[in-house]
Structure 1
Amino acid sequence: MTGFGFDLSWMSFGEMLLGFLVAIITAIVGLQKWFWGRVSSSVSNSMSSLVSGHEGIEKRLKTVEGSMGMVKHDIETMRGRMGKMETRIEGLATKADLHELAVQVARFGAGVEAQANMTRMLYEAAQRAEKSGNA
C-alpha cells in the first residue's frame, strides 16, 4: 500500500489506523497545549493588571486610613476646645443677668442718692440749728 509517495506495504491496516489515531491525538494535544498556553498567558496578563490594580487600591486605602486617623485626632482636639469654650461661655453673663445687674445698680444708686439727700438735709438742719443757737 502506498500513500503520499511512501511505501507503506510493510504496515497492516490496523497499524496504519493506530498510527493515524496517535498522530491525531498528538495534534490535538499539541493544539490543546498551544491554546491553553495562549489562554494562560492572557489570564496571567489580566491577573497581573488586577494584582497591580489591587496593590494600588490597597495603597490608597492605607492613605485614606492614615488621613482618617488624622481627622479623628483633629475632631478630638476640636471637642476639647469646644468643651473649654462651653465652660467659658457658661461663665459669661446672660441678658437676664445683665438686666438684673442694671436693676441692682439703679437701686444702689437710688439708695446712695437717698443717703446723700438725707445727709444734706441733716447738714442743712445742723447749720440752721447752729445759726439759730448762736443768734
Structure 2
Amino acid sequence: MAKRAAILLLPIALAACAGSEEVRSITYTDDRGVSNQPYPNNYRVEVLAFMKTYLNDPVGVHDAVMADPVQRVVGGRLRYVTCLRFSARESDGSYREPRERAVLHVDGRLDRLVENAGEPCAGAVYTPFPDLEKMTR
C-alpha cells in the first residue's frame, strides 16, 4: 500500500516542479541581495557562452537582437537585465516566431535566464546581435 501511495504522489510532486518560470530558473551566482550592482562589462561574451549550452542546437539562430543591460527591479531586487530576442532552429529544421528572454546579472556576472521576459524586457531597445547567429557547436 505504501508503494501505491508513493506512485500516486509522484505526479503531484512533479507538478510542483513545473511552477512559474521564475521558480524554475537556475541561479549561478551567490545572490547577496546587494542593491548597488556593478555593470556587467563582459555580458556579450557571457551571454554567448551561456546560449551555446542553453540551446539544443546553437547553429542557425535567426533574427537575433539584444538590448544593452539596464537596471530593473526583478523579484524585488535591483538587477542589470540584458534582453534577447531570437528564433532558434527546431529539431525538425523549422523556426518558431522570435522569442524574448531576459538575462539577469548579479555582481556583474550572468546569473540566470528568465524565459518569461515580458515585464523585465518591456521597452527594451534592441540592436542586431550577429554573434548569436554565427554560433557553432
The normalised TM-score by structure 1 is 0.21
Structure whose CA Rg is larger: 1
Select the structure with the greater relative contact order (CA < 8 A; seq sep ≥ 6). 2
Between Structure 1 and Structure 2, the one with more helix by share is 1
Between Structure 1 and Structure 2, the one with more strand by share is 2
